[in-house]
């Protein structure tokens, strides 16, 4: 039986590649985008499989209407893909209040709101797949991307907690964590804070590299789309799926560094336990907490 997908940010980039691949595979898609005119060629090609819905992901009324329209057209939502988002570069102190809010609202609050709108239907179905498109920047932080990382770390954490919460309902959740892919994330979608003195070797260096044209991502969005389609066919889903050799390399190095830091400071960490406390991992509370 064909699946019904709800994909945000479907008009371009990874969302567009995924929408095209899902339709070609014979599934149905509610393609959500701010500008649905960019989806007209697909609508002509797949009139019975595709529903286009206008969606500003920061507008709760539009979220509700888009979900309701999808249920009215297709009767269910089997796969939710929260893909809409954008990047922003700058020193933490240099971002405007509007830039901070816009980043958090689009990359964190919106996926949470859309997930919450879809969950009642998946709960009633006792089935569903949710793919939160986070980033390797949801696991590892770099200079100049502090607000972006704040949103993506939050989204990855939300996905990990939610996965454990909804597993008994037959709903699987995965945080998709790509490295650089050949979309316009570092191009037309990227925004910048005003330059501030003192960050020449960190923030300014990264901004210059991004604007130089020398950043050529290794990831192929069409291959990422194929991987996600295969993922939702699998009997189980991982909590995290890292995409691309760049992301794998970054994560492995970060894990090595983090393990070394834990070992170096473990004595200090353990010294803060109450004198009457049982070691956490062997305690009843610890075993219950980690379930």
Chain segment 93-108, per-residue pLDDT in tens: 999 999 999 999 999 9
What values do phi and psi take at 50, rounded to 5? -115, 130
Please give the domain boundaries of the chain with CATH numbers for all domains: 4-243 (3.40.50.720), 249-291 (no CATH)
Residue 29 has pLDDT above 90, yes or no: yes
Q: Give, for 50, the enclosing helix (H) or strand (E).
A: strand 50-54
Q: Which residues pair with 149 in a beta bridge?
A: none
Instruction: Please state, rounded to an integer, the average pLDDT across all residues of the chain.
Output: 92
Query: Percent of the chain having pLDDT more than 70?
Result: 93
With a CB cutoff of 8 Å and minimum separation 6, the contacts of 212 are none
String of DSSP letters for 115-183 = HHHHHHHHHHHT-EEEEEE--GGGTS--TT-HHHHHHHHHHHHHHHHHHHHHGGGTEEEEEEEE--BSS
Q: Which residues pair with 178 in a beta bridge?
A: 243
What pLDDT, on the 0 to 100 scale, is given for residue 277? 86
Q: Which pLDDT tens digit goes with each residue over 108-164? A: 999 999 999 999 999 999 999 999 999 999 999 999 999 999 999 999 999 999 999
Confidence of residue 71 (pLDDT cuts 50, 70, 90): very high
Are 158 and 264 within 8 A, CB to CB?
no
Range with the lowest mean pLDDT among 92-96, 180-184, 210-214, 244-248? Answer: 180-184
Query: Is 46 marked active-site?
Result: no
Please state the rounded mean pLDDT for residues 252-267.
97
What pLDDT, on the 0 to 100 scale, is given for residue 207? 87
Give the pairing type, strands 28-33 and 4-8: parallel
Candidates 148, 156, 175, 199; catalytic one: 148
What pLDDT, on the 0 to 100 scale, is given for residue 196? 93
Q: Which residues pair with 29 in a beta bridge?
A: 5, 50
Question: Mean pLDDT highest for which of 10-14, 106-110, 276-280?
Answer: 106-110
Are 134 and 155 within 8 A, CB to CB?
yes
Q: Which residues pair with 81 in a beta bridge?
A: 7, 131
- Cα separation, 156 vs 160, in Å, equals 6
Residue 92 has pLDDT above 70, yes or no: yes
String of DSSP letters for 215-236 = ----B-HHHHHHHHHHHHHSSS
- Cα separation, 291 vs 289, in Å, equals 6
Q: Which pLDDT tens digit goes with each residue over 46-60? A: 999 999 999 999 999
- Cα separation, 14 vs 245, in Å, equals 17
Q: Which pLDDT tens digit goes with each residue over 152-202? A: 999 999 999 999 999 999 999 999 999 877 666 545 567 889 999 999 999
Are 218 and 244 within 8 A, CB to CB?
yes
Long-range contacts, stretch 114-121, CB < 8 angstroms, 24+ apart: 114/8, 114/57, 114/63, 114/67, 114/80, 114/82, 115/80, 115/82, 115/158, 115/162, 117/63, 117/64, 117/67, 118/6, 118/67, 118/77, 118/80, 119/166, 119/171, 121/67, 121/71, 121/76, 121/77
Query: Is 134 marked active-site?
Result: yes
Candidates 134, 135, 146, 156; catalytic one: 134
What pLDDT, on the 0 to 100 scale, is given for residue 182? 61
CA–CA distance from 194 to each of 57, 91, 96, 151 (Å)?
26, 8, 9, 20
Candidates 152, 156, 199, 207; catalytic one: 152
What pLDDT, on the 0 to 100 scale, is given for residue 216? 66
What pLDDT, on the 0 to 100 scale, is given for residue 180? 74
Q: Give, for 15, the enclosing helix (H) or strand (E).
A: helix 13-24
Query: Is 148 marked active-site?
Result: yes
Q: CA angle at residue 15 from 13 to 21, to 5 degrees?
A: 105
């Amino acid at each position: 039986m064909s699946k019904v997908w709800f994909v945000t940010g479907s008009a371009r980039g990874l969302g567009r590649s995924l929408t095209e691949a899902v339709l070609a595979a014979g599934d149905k898609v509610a393609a959500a985008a701010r500008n649905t005119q960019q989806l007209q060629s697909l609508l002509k090609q797949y009139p019975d499989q595709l529903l286009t819905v206008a969606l500003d992901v920061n507008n709760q009324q539009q979220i509700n209407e888009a979900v309701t329209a999808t249920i009215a057209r297709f009767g269910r939502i089997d796969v939710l893909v929260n893909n809409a988002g954008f990047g922003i570069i700058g020193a933490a102190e240099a971002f405007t209040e509007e830039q901070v809010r816009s980043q958090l609202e689009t990359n964190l609050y919106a996926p949470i709101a859309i997930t919450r709108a879809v969950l009642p239907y998946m709960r009633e179905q006792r089935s569903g797949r949710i793919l939160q498109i986070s980033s390797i920047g949801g696991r590892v932080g770099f200079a100049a991307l502090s607000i972006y990382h704040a949103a993506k770390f939050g989204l990855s954490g939300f996905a990990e907690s939610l996965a454990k919460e909804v597993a008994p309902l037959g709903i699987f959740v995965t945080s998709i964590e790509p490295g650089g892919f050949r979309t316009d994330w570092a191009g037309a979608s990227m925004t910048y804070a005003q330059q501030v003195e003192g960050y020449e070797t960190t923030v300014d260096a990264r901004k210059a590299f991004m604007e130089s044209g020398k950043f050529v991502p290794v990831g192929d969005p069409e291959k990422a789309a194929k991987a996600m389609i295969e993922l939702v066919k699998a009997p189980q889903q991982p909590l995290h799926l890292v995409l691309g050799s760049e992301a794998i390399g970054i994560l492995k190095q970060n894990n090595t560094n983090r393990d070394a830091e834990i070992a170096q400071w473990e004595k200090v960490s353990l010294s803060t336990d109450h004198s009457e406390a049982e070691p956490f991992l062997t305690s009843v509370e610890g075993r219950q907490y980690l379930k």
